[in-house]
Amino acid sequence: LRREDPRFPGRRKGPLAENAGVRLLVVMNPSSHDFEARRRWPRLEPRLARAASVTLLETEPDDARTIARVREELTRGHDRVLAIGGDGTLHLVVNAIFGAGLATLPEFAVIPFGTANNVAKSLGLPPRDLRKLTAVAVGSRLGRLDVARIKAVIDGKPEERVWVNCVGLGMDADVLVTRGNYRDLGGYLGYAAALAERSMIQRSMDLELSVDGKTFATRVYNLIVNNVPIYVGAMQMPGSHRDDGLLDVYLFDRLEYGSKVLSFAIKHADILKLGVSEALDQITENQRTFQGKVVRVRLAEPRRLQVDGEALGETSEILCDMAGHLRVTVP
């Protein structure tokens, strides 16, 4: 039950407001959305500080160093961790939480400041309303966010990490790398340009897919393993849930995939007024979908791997399963 806050007549008091002893660790990517996160911080901090005692850590360009610093801070004891940034920031924070060796995992909260914000959208967070987002971040309504794990040999080196958003092999991972060449275009426009380039040269992959022990060989153009239902910032993947303990595997085998996602991305750049829902329906029609707890992919030839939107290098085999889950604040 929420009480009326006497300081703000008509406004409801947030549940954490009665408990200033709550320790909140904020991990912020200051550069997200062109340093908008850092500019907004002076207005954001007092609202958080009313509800909890706040420790702020800013991410650094060196991911490994960021994870190590967050991990160390977590061992000092925090009730809740708030990640402010895009899906990449969430990836770092979740890896720190799962790598800190804690007996009890802290609660998790998100204020999105990225481009796609797949995880935030999958949590149903209100877009672009900082006041509402802050209220959710210090609120008491909790949902569940599954956390997946991946093991792979990448560029000859064994890697293991946790992830919350998506893992991709093929087209989308290659687009991610190519997008680096179009940084100046920014956001979805850079994505569209990269898609256009890759669409012309992309080739399919021969692979063996195992989902919970059921194995078959196939040829695909693009493979995605999803943990949350929202993909590339707006595509709602059918049958996917953030809290069912299952991974979703999508195989795309048509060459037209690229051109359809391209029209979708261009619409997002607001250049052309194309029928988005129509494009989305066509994309999701041309796919095969599987769900399971353990997903193994063996490739005939090494291909680029993306994990939570970051290109990691080449691999010939990945193993994904569930690492656990986080209790996350939801509206």
Rule CB under 5 A: which residues touch Mg ion? 241, 244, 246
Rank residues 82 and 235 by Cβ distance to Mg ion and give the closer one.
Answer: 235
Contact indicator for 54, 28 with CB cutoff of 8 Å: no
CB of 174 closer than 8 Å to CB of 203:
no
From the CB of 255, what's the least distance to Mg ion, in Å? 28
From the list 168, 190, 195, 156, the residue with the least C-alpha distance to 279 is: 195
Number of H helices, E strands in the chain: 9, 16
Nearer to Mg ion, 246 or 262 (CB): 246
Q: Pick from 193, 153, 179: which is nearest to 298 by CA?
A: 153
User: Of 51, 66, 55, which is closest to residue 13 (Cα–Cα)?
Assistant: 51
Nearest residue (CB) to Mg ion, 72 versus 244: 244
Question: In this complex, which beta carbon is closest to Mg ion, that of residue 115 or of residue 226?
Answer: 226
> Could you tell me the smallest distance in angstroms from the CB atom of residue 241 to Mg ion?
5
> Is 106 in a helix, a strand, or coil?
coil
CB of 245 to Mg ion, least distance (A): 7
Stretch (H or E) spanning 320: strand 310-329
Instruction: Give 38 or 241: the residue with its C-beta nearer to Mg ion.
Output: 241
Give the nearest distance from C-beta 3 to Mg ion in angstroms: 36
**Burial of 211 by CB count in 10 Å (0-12 exposed, 13-18 middle, 19+ buried)?**
buried
The phi and psi torsions of 24 (rounded to 5 degrees) equal -110, 120
Residue 46: count of CB within 10 angstroms of its CB: 10
Nearer to Mg ion, 82 or 230 (CB): 230
Half-sphere exposure of 263 (CA within 13 A, CB side): 15
Q: How many residues does the chain have?
A: 331
At residue 301, what is the residue type?
E
Shortest CB 294 distance to Mg ion, Å: 13
